[in-house]
Amino acid sequence: MKKNIHPEYGDAKVICACGTVWETKSTRKEARVGICSSCHPFFTGKQKLVDTAGRVERFRQRYEKKTKR
């Protein structure tokens, strides 16, 4: 390999939005992720609905109206 052209590869800390932290190797010192295996619905078996601007609630209200008829 040529010298002085490759980034330095070393220890790195990965931080998830849920607060989980783990160590790995990378060319960056720190990485922040939005979701990890500790909080992802596929691995936890729990469904999380992210309600953006009340869309989920509006959908539920419309669906309830149709079933009550």
Distances (CA, A) of 36 to 22, 23, 25, 33: 11, 13, 17, 7
Q: What's the predicted TM-score (pTM) here?
A: 0.54
Is residue 2 one of the residues assigned to a domain?
A: no
Helix (H, G, I), strand (E, B) or coil at 3: coil
How many distinct structural domains can be found in the chain? 1
Inter-residue contact 38 to 19 (CB < 8 Å) = no
| Domain-embedded: residue 4 | no
Give the CATH number of the domain where residue 62 resides: 4.10.80.400
Token duo for residue 52: 């953006």
- Indicate whether 24 belongs to any domain: yes
Residue 53 has which token pair?
């601007």
In a domain, 59, yes or no: yes
Mean pLDDT, 10 residues at a time, over the chain (69 residues)?
Answer: 88 92 94 85 67 74 71
Phi and psi at 13, nearest 5°, equal -110, 130
* Domain extent for 48: 10-68
